[in-house]
Amino acid sequence: MKFLWHDTIVVTDPAALAVIMGRGPGAIDKAALAYAPINRMCDPHGNPNLLTSAATESWKLIRKAVAVSFSMQVSSARTWSVVLQCTKQQMHAAAFTGYVTRS
């Protein structure tokens, strides 16, 4: 199959995808070549994101900070309001820098 004019493999087995995208034996390295198509889909400049960045110390800190957003505990109104407030602040900062525009 072709995707963005490149030969592509589509993994449809969730268990295989977990091994490939995880860590340890069977996982692919988060190399620029392997993740470049995902970066191009997620960012107009092809920059890495939280899912495709190298596992540096700063990446680990950011991942730990946002992990609560993917937790079932976010369903509480108090936690959700904090997540929403932080998201709005980040979007405002991104709009201020011109990285994103409001529509």
* Side chain identity, residue 50: L
Measured CA to CA in angstroms, residue 98 lies from 26, 40, 42 at distances of: 40, 19, 17
Q: Structure tokens of 86?
A: 């932080």
Measured CA to CA in angstroms, residue 95 lies from 34, 99, 102 at distances of: 30, 6, 7
pLDDT in 10s for each residue of the chain, 103 residues: 887 777 888 888 888 888 887 777 777 766 666 778 888 888 888 888 877 777 777 777 777 777 766 666 655 667 777 878 888 887 777 776 665 555 4
Looking at residue 32, what is its pLDDT? 62
